[in-house]
Structure 1
Amino acid sequence: MRTGIPSPALPVDLSEARRVAVEAAEAAGALLRSRVDGPVDVRPKGTAGDVVTELDMAAESLILERLRASYPGHRIIAEESGVLDGAPGEEMVWLVDPLDGTNNVAIGMPVYAVGLALCARGEPVLGVVHDPVTGRTWSALNGGGAQGPGGAPLTLPERPRPGRERNPVLAWTQGHQVRPGDAAAFRLRSRVEAGCARMLQLWAPLVGWAMLARGDIDGFVGYLPEIVDLPAGALLAAEAGAELRRLDGAPYELGIDRPPAELSFVAARPELLDRLLETAAETAAGSAPAS
């Protein structure tokens, strides 16, 4: 994934936008944390097994109110509210996932996050990930590096944790559009899992991205991922030092208008990237019809 502040100059102060986004994410996190242990009204969302709760709606409403107060002309794409138009010709777009991990909350598993991203002309320039469970927040500016809690610089450790050079710990994500019988997803996931010590499927991709940025895991593979939560996490990991590629090894260009097939990714510590890409290539070759 190539990073670098887009040119010409942006019509916003990214430092101020980061402050607004961090405060909105943390306020939403406080709301979620205060209510997640009580009764949660869970309703089906779509036909692919996804769900939505009143917590999603309350957290999203809080975030939207804050973004509208600070940036009334910006467009917003929110997980539950959909596309909210801004001023005519507006190039700045916010992506809001108020509760990434709703299915986890629905079953009482405390693995979830809040994510916000700001995009300029379709490309992410700011990403914020907040973990309400621990109260920690991570953020990144395109070309400006990543920050951890308290604004401390965030970079991948130079070396993986002991024992993980040959047996990495990886994470997997797939979009809700991927059906249980998707043969390509099954082959790729199985091949990746066979080559690692453990593969996590967290149902909360933003948590996985933050883990990669911190060096808690060594790589992350995504098949047809969801676009709303993708930019914030991917930008965070890239600015911390992770390498991202498409499944075919091509450069990863994270534009919100790109087709879903171009959003599938391999992300990893630099020294692990080629190994994961080889696995993806072998999977694709194995699924090709014999000539």
Structure 2
Amino acid sequence: MEATSKDTRGSFAAKKTPATPKGLLNIAVRAARAAGEIINRNFEDRDHITVQEKAKDDLVTNVDRECENAIKGVISRYYPEHGILAEESGSSKNTADSDYLWVIDPLDGTTNFCKGIPHIAVSIGVKIKGITSVGVVYDPIRNELFTATKGEGAILNNRKIRVSNIKGLDTGIFATAFPCRNREHLEHYQKILARVFSRCADIRRAGTASLDLAYVAAGRMDGYFELCLKPWDFCAGELLVREAGGVVTDFEGKPDYAKNGNIVAANPYAIQNLLREIKAAG
């Protein structure tokens, strides 16, 4: 609950919620659930959904925007001085002046949502002085809440989660996504896919990057690789993986995925084998 205190004029004023990792996580969860309610309300009754194409294979709906406004409203109520980077509205005016940056994907898996495929998430990450310190990925359809705070581990619905413990690729199930918005990279991606698929048990392509990463954190997937992601696609999910004992790199095995958008995630053993196949594809 938001505390109140009496000011010098006798009126009551809301106290600011402390900008500690715990306080930030509580508000991130509250914001994610607010967006999740909007998604659930519209998922079964899509007659009132309007769809626009921002670019080829890049959809946005009125529900995306409603979710984003709900999330921003919760954040602004408790942390009006914090910066926000959101998929639909971009950066807030005070982003450059704040040590705190909220990175938001209000409805990850918009195409799934439009088609009635129940694989959707709300993704909220919080950076403190450039370091991702809080992450929330919420699947409102399954009511699964993945959370992480830096140095405190990763949680799924109040239960600690860990990445899988496979070492090779042969028994592994790996998540990926086609570069449908960046098809100039398709030939390179196909070479990578062919090498990984020939050496692993199987591949999954579900269409929601934040949940792919959350599933790696929970050990449901043994690894994940994708090209050309945006910060809101992976900000929360990459923290989940790292706090669950995994490793996240770019395709060169370097920590530059935030710059180039190319991301690989797995446990410390499997990622070496995964990177070897990716690099061998040229």
TM-score, L = length of structure 1: 0.84
8 Å Cα contact 1:76-1:83 kept in structure 2: yes
Find the counterpart in structure 1 of residue 147 from structure 2. Answer: 139
- In the alignment, the residues of structure 2 paired with residue 211 and residue 87 of structure 1 have an alpha-carbon distance, to the nearest angstrom, of 30
- In the alignment, the residues of structure 2 paired with residue 15 and residue 174 of structure 1 have an alpha-carbon distance, to the nearest angstrom, of 36
Does 1:57 find its partner at 2:65? yes
When residues 18 and 174 of structure 1 are mapped into structure 2, their CA distance, relative to the original with a 3 A threshold, is farther
For residues 212-241 of structure 1, give each alpha carbon's deviation from its aligned partner in whole angstroms, at most 9, with x where no partner exists.
Answer: 111011010121212212110011011101
Does 1:203 find its partner at 2:207? yes
When residues 196 and 166 of structure 1 are mapped into structure 2, their CA distance, relative to the original with a 3 A threshold, is closer
SS at match of 1:267: strand
Deviation for aligned residue 1:46: 2.4
- In the alignment, the residues of structure 2 paired with residue 58 and residue 170 of structure 1 have an alpha-carbon distance, to the nearest angstrom, of 33
Deviation for aligned residue 1:14: 0.8
Find the counterpart in structure 2 of residue 107 from structure 1. Answer: 115
- In the alignment, the residues of structure 2 paired with residue 179 and residue 165 of structure 1 have an alpha-carbon distance, to the nearest angstrom, of 27
Match of 2:264 among 246, 266, 269: 266
Find the counterpart in structure 1 of residue 44 from structure 2. Answer: 37
Find the counterpart in structure 1 of residue 241 from structure 2. Answer: 237
Deviation for aligned residue 1:121: 2.7
- In the alignment, the residues of structure 2 paired with residue 227 and residue 88 of structure 1 have an alpha-carbon distance, to the nearest angstrom, of 16
Stretches of structure 1 that go unaligned for 5 or more consecutive residues are 1-10, 285-291
Match of 2:132 among 96, 116, 124: 124
Find the counterpart in structure 1 of residue 24 from structure 2. Answer: 17
Deviation for aligned residue 1:253: 4.7
Deviation for aligned residue 1:171: 0.5
Identity of aligned residues (%): 27
Moved more, 109-118 or 236-245: 236-245
Correspondences of 1:155-234 after superposition (within 5 Å): 155-157=162-164, 159-160=165-166, 166-173=170-177, 177-179=181-183, 182-234=186-238
Find the counterpart in structure 1 of residue 11 from structure 2. Answer: none
Find the counterpart in structure 2 of residue 66 from structure 1. Answer: 74
Deviation for aligned residue 1:45: 2.7
Find the counterpart in structure 2 of residue 289 from structure 1. Answer: none
For residues 198-223 of structure 1, give each alpha carbon's deviation from its aligned partner in whole angstroms, at most 9, with x where no partner exists.
Answer: 21111110111111111011010121
TM-score, L = length of structure 2: 0.86
Deviation for aligned residue 1:180: 6.0
When residues 249 and 165 of structure 1 are mapped into structure 2, their CA distance, relative to the original with a 3 A threshold, is closer
Moved more, 92-101 or 25-34: 25-34
When residues 31 and 47 of structure 1 are mapped into structure 2, their CA distance, relative to the original with a 3 A threshold, is closer
When residues 199 and 141 of structure 1 are mapped into structure 2, their CA distance, relative to the original with a 3 A threshold, is same
For residues 240-279 of structure 1, give each alpha carbon's deviation from its aligned partner in whole angstroms, at most 9, with x where no partner exists.
Answer: 01122221122x2564xx2x2xx31221122211211110
- In the alignment, the residues of structure 2 paired with residue 49 and residue 55 of structure 1 have an alpha-carbon distance, to the nearest angstrom, of 17
Deviation for aligned residue 1:62: 0.8
- In the alignment, the residues of structure 1 paired with residue 95 and residue 277 of structure 2 have an alpha-carbon distance, to the nearest angstrom, of 45
8 Å Cα contact 1:210-1:237 kept in structure 2: yes
Amino acid at match of 1:184: H
- In the alignment, the residues of structure 1 paired with residue 184 and residue 52 of structure 2 have an alpha-carbon distance, to the nearest angstrom, of 18
- In the alignment, the residues of structure 2 paired with residue 236 and residue 280 of structure 1 have an alpha-carbon distance, to the nearest angstrom, of 23
SS at match of 1:186: helix
Amino acid at match of 1:45: E
User: What is the aligned residue count?
Assistant: 264
Deviation for aligned residue 1:146: 1.3
Find the counterpart in structure 1 of residue 273 from structure 2. Answer: 275
Find the counterpart in structure 2 of residue 94 from structure 1. Answer: 102
- In the alignment, the residues of structure 2 paired with residue 117 and residue 94 of structure 1 have an alpha-carbon distance, to the nearest angstrom, of 6
8 Å Cα contact 1:191-1:279 kept in structure 2: yes
SS at match of 1:95: strand
- In the alignment, the residues of structure 2 paired with residue 111 and residue 95 of structure 1 have an alpha-carbon distance, to the nearest angstrom, of 21
SS at match of 2:148: strand
